[in-house]
Amino acid sequence: MACERPDLAGCSLSQWDCTELARQLVESGLVASISHETVRRILSEHELRPWRHHMWISPRQPRDAEFYACVQSLVDLYTCALPENERVLCVDEKTSLQPRPRLRPTLPARPGNLPNRVEHEYRRAGALNLFAAFDTRSGRVYGQCYGRKRQTEFIAFLEHLDHEIPAAVTTIHIVCDNVSTHHGKRVQAWLAEHPRFRFHFTPPYCSWTNQVEQWFSILQRKRFRVADFHSLEDLQTKILAFITEWNQHAHPFNWTSGSVAKVMAAVRSDAAA
């Protein structure tokens, strides 16, 4: 029963918990009585947690030999011995970042277990898009904020990278997803004039292969868990300040061929299921 959807048992529930399973077992006549604690012990013995859920998405690209070859090429790029004249940057955009200025000031934590207190009501004050590049060997982050997310802004960000990265670096590998913003005609024309940039595209619905997503999760947790900025200008200033502070203690993420092999084995297992 725990391995079936509650709707199939005639219960209008999204998922089971121990109390609901105990009630259903009795109502179905399977047992005269049973406690939710007994249900919990039985489920624990069988390593079942039907009250949990994870999101997943059906891939557009089949998990075939071409997919695994693409992922393996990215892993090789992350783990190989990189010459001094090369860089590997993972690039993406964190979109629709809103200032959300609160109607009352956010209050800090206080003794007596009082947490930070955030006013529920806020004003809408526009949104920004953060274009970021994560250096896989040093952990350094390059970032710029723009009001829109088009080829124009993406090219402007590439120009920023071109200016910031020394000319002695003759090859800049860019890892990004395959959206039109990253490979449109204007971007292709720009790349033709800047041959040191080489693009590597991740497979569809495979964002975990882009290391900047790991950094975005850190940014989200440390800077945007409470969104309370006075204005777009304040938001941009504090995003760039976070990047500056990160770069003072930057570190790469520990990608290894072995750890990725475990992930790929899990992907193959899910595909087979």
> Range with the lowest mean pLDDT among 108-112, 127-131, 264-268?
264-268
Neighbours of 44 (CB within 10 A): 11
Neighbours of 49 (CB within 10 A): 14
Quote the CA–CA distance of 144 and 161 in Å, as a whole number.
Answer: 10
List the domain boundaries for the chain.
Answer: 6-45, 65-269
Q: What pLDDT is stored for residue 262 in this prediction?
A: 75
Quote the CA–CA distance of 51 and 233 in Å, as a whole number.
Answer: 43
Choosing among 3.30.2130.10, 2.40.40.20, 2.60.120.200, 3.30.420.10, the CATH entry for 65-269 is 3.30.420.10
Query: Any alpha helices (H) in the chain, and if so which ranges?
Result: 18-27, 36-45, 65-79, 151-164, 180-183, 185-193, 212-223, 232-248, 257-272
Q: Is residue 78's pLDDT more than 90?
A: yes
Quote the CA–CA distance of 249 and 272 in Å, as a whole number.
Answer: 42
Neighbours of 101 (CB within 10 A): 17
Q: Is residue 83's pLDDT more than 90?
A: yes
For 119-170, how does the pLDDT look when each residue is reduced to its tens digit (9 = 90+)?
A: 999 999 999 999 999 999 999 999 999 999 999 999 999 999 999 999 999 9
CA 4, chain centre distance (Å): 30
Mean pLDDT over 259-267 rounds to: 70
Query: Phi and psi for 263 in degrees, rounded to 5?
Result: -65, -45
* Residue 271 pLDDT class (50, 70, 90 cuts): low
3-state DSSP call for residue 28? coil
Asked if residues 156 and 146 have their Cβ atoms less than 8 Å apart, the reply is: yes
CA 271, chain centre distance (Å): 21
For 192-247, how does the pLDDT look when each residue is reduced to its tens digit (9 = 90+)?
A: 999 999 999 998 888 889 999 999 999 999 999 989 999 999 999 999 999 999 99
For 19-65, how does the pLDDT look when each residue is reduced to its tens digit (9 = 90+)?
A: 999 999 999 999 999 999 999 999 999 999 999 988 777 666 677 78
| Whole-prediction pTM | 0.82
Quote the CA–CA distance of 211 and 120 in Å, as a whole number.
Answer: 33
Query: Phi and psi for 176 in degrees, rounded to 5?
Result: -155, 170
Q: What pLDDT is stored for residue 66 in this prediction?
A: 83
Q: What pLDDT is stored for residue 59 in this prediction?
A: 65
